[in-house]
Every structure is written in structure tokens, then in C-alpha cells.
Chains A and B, each alone.
Chain A
Amino acid sequence: MSTDELTKRNKISQKLAPYIFVSPFFIIFALFSLFPILFTLYISLTDWTGTKDVSLVGVQNYIQVFQDTRFYRAVGNTFLFMIMIIPAQIILALFISVMLTSKKVPFVGTFRLMNFLPYITTSVAIGLIFNIMFDSNYGSVNEILMKFGFITEKINWLGEKWPARITIALVTIWKYFGYTAVLFMAGIMSIDKQLYEASEIDGAGKWRQLFSITLPNLKPVMIFVVLTTMIGCFQIFDEPYMIFTGFGATLVGGPQGSALTGTWLIYDTVFGGTFRYGYGSAISFALFILITAITLVVLRFMNKGGE
């Protein structure tokens, strides 16, 4: 074979190779991630209840969704969770990550692990442990709060609306802020050291450096964190499900539905006794559109804010 032929063959294989490399991923991805979304849209236009008879009913399910108080409650709760969770989580994570990258703190690895442990703990464990810790009569949280004189009467954490929401927000912050801190640490470590050195020569203090170097350079990570946390709030399910139903009781959405979120509503509509596939899919797709809208708004807003 001549060299020319060889290069020609190489050129062809170089053209084909990327398609071969991406195909295993995209076949699985198309089958199990993309197709279900389109299929959800189709199901949402039917009256499917799991039996063989399926008929198209148009937007009837959607009309029902927009009249459903539980849907509004789930969306409302999600926004409440966003307000309660996102600022606290970001401030805590920033604090930890700035401390641990400052080179002035000993045992960095140990502290990093301590704060990362919640993220690797399975939600079933979190449900059981927090159920015990937040128990109104015997839980350690009430006991500690009373000992230090913060409260005089025991709080019914898991039985009342707002305390239940606060509990779920605390659990979620606790679980994810260490992970967020790791993302921030990674971001801070990739900032050019010379920026700090130069500003030190100019006499900038630590706070000044935080606001004029660290935070602006963390913007891409920040956008990622804010977006994923907001979307994560729609998905809050595992932990409250285990906390409120883990011990046999089946309290959908927590006390008075105060911790009902999108995922829980879908789960309950379709797998909680009734099989309203069509209606459940309409809820899913409505949330899907809502999430897309939020993503676009946040991206636009945050990209403007930094310029």
C-alpha cells in the first residue's frame, strides 16, 4: 500500500471516528433520557390510566392542572424552599471554601471531609436520623435549643407547617452545602494567584479581595450552583419522603402539604394508589416548561449582572 492510500484511509477513519465514539452514549441517552421527555408530552395529552384503552383528550389534563390547588402548592413550596435554601447554602459554602483555600487553616483535608460527609450519606439514613433528631418530645434539636434558652416551648418540627418546612430546608442545606463548597474550592483554586499578589501590593484587605477578585472570578461556578440548586428544589423528595413516611405513616407532602414538591406530587399522582398517567404527565410537562423558563431567566439575569 502506498503512503497516499494510507493517508487517505486515515482521513476517512478520522471522519468516522467521532461518530463511532459518541454513538454508545447517544443511543442510551436517546432511548432513556430524550425519548421519555417526548413520550411524557404525548401521555399528557391522553387519559391513560394504565389500561389498554387510551384516547387523546387534548389539553384537558393541562386545564385540570392549572385548576389544581395541589399543583400550586407544590410550585409555591418550591419557591419557598428556594428562598430558604439558596442564600444560606451559598453563604455557608463560600465561607468554608474561602477558609479552606486561604492556606491559613490546618487540617484542610479533615475539614473538607467533615463538610462533604452529608453529601455521601444516603437519603434513607438522612430521613431516619433527622426524624429522630427533630422529634418534638425526645429529639436532640429541641433539647439543645431549650438548654441554651433559645426556646421555652418544644417546637413540633415535623407536625406543623412552617417548622416542617424549616426542617426540610435545613436538611437540604446540610446535605448540599459541603458539595457546593467543593465546587467553589475548585473555582477558587483555578483563579490566577497573581491577581491576589498584585492587589496585596496595592494594599487591598481580605474583604476587598473577596469582593473584587474571588467573587467576580467565581461567576461561572456561581451560575452553575444557583441554577442547579433552583432546579434541585423542584426535586426535593427523598429526604422529606423518608422523614414524613419512613416510619409507616403515609403523610403525603408532610403536614398540610407544606413540604409537597413537584417530584412528590408526580410520584403521588401516579404511584401513590391511583394510576393517572395522563394527568401525572401533564404535571410533569408543566413543571418542565416552568424549569426551562426559570433557567433562561436566571441565565439572562446573571449574565447581565456581571458585565
Chain B
Amino acid sequence: MVKKLGSPFMFLLMVIISLISLYPFYTMIIMGTYESNQLYTGIKFWFGDSLNKNLASVFSINFLNYYKNSLVVAISTTVLGVLVCSAAGFALGKYQFKGKKLMLAIVIGMLMIPSQLSIIAFVIEMRWFGWMDTLWPLIIPPAASAFGVFWMTQFAKNTIPTEVLESARIDGCNEMSVFLRIAMPFMRPAFVTLALLLFLWSWNSFLTPLIVLNSDALYTIPLGIRGLAGQFRNDNAAQILGITLGTIPVLFFFIAFSKNLIEGLASSAVKG
């Protein structure tokens, strides 16, 4: 067994790093079961006994509504994003056409530019659209992810055999069904990876909702949860419990699909 583990020292080091990595997450889970005034009283290793009290606080605000908003936003942007990115990625990866080089250059250039830099112009634009204090700015813009298209382009180029597309055309498939019936199944692994990442980024997004949303009824979880600490109350334990509850969907997806995530990454982007 010792031989199988490689150097025991290296293995031990990895275990320690992994435990440190896990510690804050574990802390989050157990801190949600204490009273707020117990949080700042030294290290805790096990659950407290205020879970029910904190649950009551969490559901005393519109938590379910925040949850619903987060789900609506994350699911919509994921579905839309996967569709537009895979269609564009398929075209850029598998067709020859005028303007393709320029389009790819723009996408790759924009990969490197943080969207936060143009947040002011973005907000003014949202006002023109009448989209301030609506969920649209959180759904539509993130769907056109430069990363997503880059990703899908690489994947389509490397994994879809051109001959299969050609023979489908000879059999009389039009371009739309070539994309939907022939190309899509090949792109499935990349699909899952992109969907996971889009969902995660949307679910955890903070700056854009912070700036565009004003009404409590539209708040997503990260914004809504702040309502438990502020001028009138300071229930940090309940905040943490709310966030823990908010982490469940992403945790679930990542455990279910973590194999796909790595394989999807391995088969496309890194070959770029």
C-alpha cells in the first residue's frame, strides 16, 4: 500500500492542503447552526444547536423568493448561453466563411478583458433599454460568453469529423438539421461543461445584481441574504445558513457532473 501511495510525505502534504481547502467550506456549514453571538468565540469543529432558530430567521425574509429569482436567472442564462455559444462555436469551428478570422480574433481578444471595466457604460445602456431593476441584465448579456464560444469552437473543430457532416448533407439534411442532429451529439461533453460553468457564474454573480437591482422582490440569493445583517438586525449565523442552503444546487450539480467537467476541459480548451 505504501508503495502504491507514492511518497508518503507527498501524500500527507496533499491531504493537509486538501483539508485546509475544505476547512472554510466546512466552517460555513457548521457556523449556520450556532447563535450569531457565538460565532466570534473561538474555533468550532462540530454543529451547534441553533439550526431551527436560524432556519426560522432565514425564512422570515423572502428567502424562497430570492431562491426562485436565482434559479430563474441561472437556468435561463445557462440554456440561452449553451444554445447561442454552441451554434456560433459550430459555425466558427466547422465552416469556412468570410469574416470568420475577424470574429475569432474579437472573441479571443475579449476573453482577456474583464467585463467589470465597462460596467458604467453597461449600466447607462441598461437604463436606455429600461432594464434597470429587472432580471434581464443578469440573463441576456452573460449568455453571449466569449469563453463559451471560444470553448465550443475548439471543441467542434477537434471532435466533429467533417466527413460525417458531408455525408449527412449528401443524404439530404439541411444545415439546421446537420447542426441539431449530427453536430450536437458530438458536442455533448463540452455542452455539459459549459452549462455547469455558466450556471455557477450566474448563480454566484454579485457585482452586476448589486448595481442593477433595487427592489427586494427581484433580489437573488447573494443580495437578499444581506438583508439579515444591516441597520436593524445583525443575524450573521442566519446569513451563513441561508448561503449554505444557497450552495446546495451548485454543489449537487458539481458532484453529479464533476467527471464530465474534467473530461470536457481535457478534450477541448487545452489543445487550443
A32, B97: Cβ atoms under 8 Å? Answer: no
Given contact pairs A96-B14, A114-B21, A187 touches B211 in the complex (Cβ within 8 A)? no
Cβ-based interface call for A102 (8 A): yes
**B4-15 CB contact bits vs A (8 Å, 1 = yes)?**
111000110110
Bound: A267/B203 CA distance, A: 21
A277–B175 CB distance below 8 A: no
B197-241 interface bits toward A, Cβ cutoff 8 Å, 1 = contact, 0 = none: 000100110110001000000000110011001110010100110
| Residues of A208-266 whose CB lies within 8 A of B | 220-221, 224, 227-228, 231-232, 234-235, 237-238, 246-248, 262-263, 266
- Count of interface residues, chain B, beta-carbon cutoff 8 Å: 97
A185 touches B262 (CB 8 A): yes
Given A25-B144, A113-B258, A234-B114, A40-B17 contact (CB < 8 Å)? no
CA distance A228 to B259 in the complex (A): 24
Does B130 sit within 8 A of A, measured CB to CB? no
Main secondary structure of the interface of A (DSSP, over half): helix
A143, B42: Cβ atoms under 8 Å? yes
Q: Assess whether A105 is interfacial by the CB under 8 Å rule.
A: yes
Nearest to B85 among chain A residues (CB) is A25
User: Which of A18, A115, A232: most chain B CB closer than 10 A?
Assistant: A18
Contacts of A139 in B (CB 8 A): 40
Shortest B252–chain A CB gap in Å is 10
Residue contact B84 to A270, C-beta cutoff 8 Å: no
- Does B61 count as interface, using CB distance less than 8 angstroms? no
B144 touching A99, Cβ below 8 Å:
no
For A113, what are the chain B residues with a Cβ–Cβ distance below 8 Å? 254-255, 258
Instruction: Determine the main DSSP class of B at the interface with A.
Output: helix
Asked if B125 CB lies within 8 Å of chain A CBs, one says yes
Interface residue ranges of B127-147 to A (CB < 8 Å): 140-141, 143-144, 146
Tell me whether A33 and B141 are in contact in the complex, defined as CB-CB below 8 angstroms, given that A21-B90, A182-B262 are known contacts: yes
Interface hub of B10, B176, B244 (most chain A Cβ within 10 A): B10
Q: A96-B17, A121-B28, A237-B207 are in contact. Are A22 and B87 (CB under 8 A)?
A: yes
A106 to B1, CA, bound (A): 10
Known: A25-B149, A29-B144, A95-B14. A128 touches B240 (CB 8 A): yes
Q: Is the CB of B5 within 8 A of A24?
A: no
B88 close to A21 (CB less than 8 A): yes
Q: Which B residues, 19 to 42, have Cβ-Cβ distances below 8 Å to chain A?
A: 19-22, 24-25, 27-28, 31, 39-42
Least CB distance from A257 to B in Å reads: 18
Contact A28 B24 (CB under 8 A): no
Closest chain-A Cβ to B95's Cβ sits at a distance in Å of: 4
Q: Determine the distance from Cα of A244 to Cα of B200 in the docked complex, in whole angstroms.
A: 24
B243 beta carbon closer than 8 Å to chain A = yes
Tell me how many residue pairs across A and B have CB atoms closer than 8 Å.
291
- Flag A55-68 by CB within 8 Å of B: 1 or 0 each: 00000000000000
Partner of B14, one of A99, A120, A125, A295: A99
Q: Is A123 in the interface zone, CB < 8 Å from B?
A: yes
User: Does A84 touch B at the CB level, under 8 Å?
Assistant: no
Given contacts A28-B144, A143-B42, contact A122 B246 (CB under 8 A): yes
On whether the beta carbons of B40 and A137 are closer than 8 Å, the reply is yes
| B116 interfacial by beta-carbon distance below 8 Å | yes
Question: Would you list 28 pairs from A and B whose C-beta atoms are within 8 A, ordered by A residue?
Answer: A15-B97, A17-B91, A24-B88, A26-B144, A28-B144, A31-B141, A32-B144, A33-B115, A37-B117, A40-B118, A115-B17, A118-B21, A121-B25, A128-B243, A129-B240, A138-B42, A140-B43, A144-B43, A185-B262, A185-B265, A187-B266, A190-B267, A190-B270, A234-B114, A238-B207, A248-B229, A266-B117, A267-B207
Instruction: Give the A-binding residues of B (Cβ under 8 A).
Output: 4-6, 10-11, 13-14, 17-22, 24-25, 27-28, 31, 39-43, 83-85, 87-88, 90-92, 95, 97, 100, 103, 106, 110, 112-122, 124-125, 140-141, 143-144, 146, 149, 169, 174-176, 179, 200, 203-204, 206-207, 211, 221-222, 225-226, 229-231, 234, 236, 239-240, 243-244, 246-247, 250-251, 254-255, 258-259, 261-262, 265-267, 269-272
Seed contacts A37-B121, A124-B226, A182-B265; 19 additional CB < 8 Å A-B pairs: A18-B95, A18-B97, A21-B95, A28-B141, A36-B125, A43-B124, A117-B25, A121-B24, A122-B243, A124-B206, A128-B240, A129-B28, A137-B40, A186-B262, A187-B270, A224-B269, A267-B119, A281-B121, A285-B117
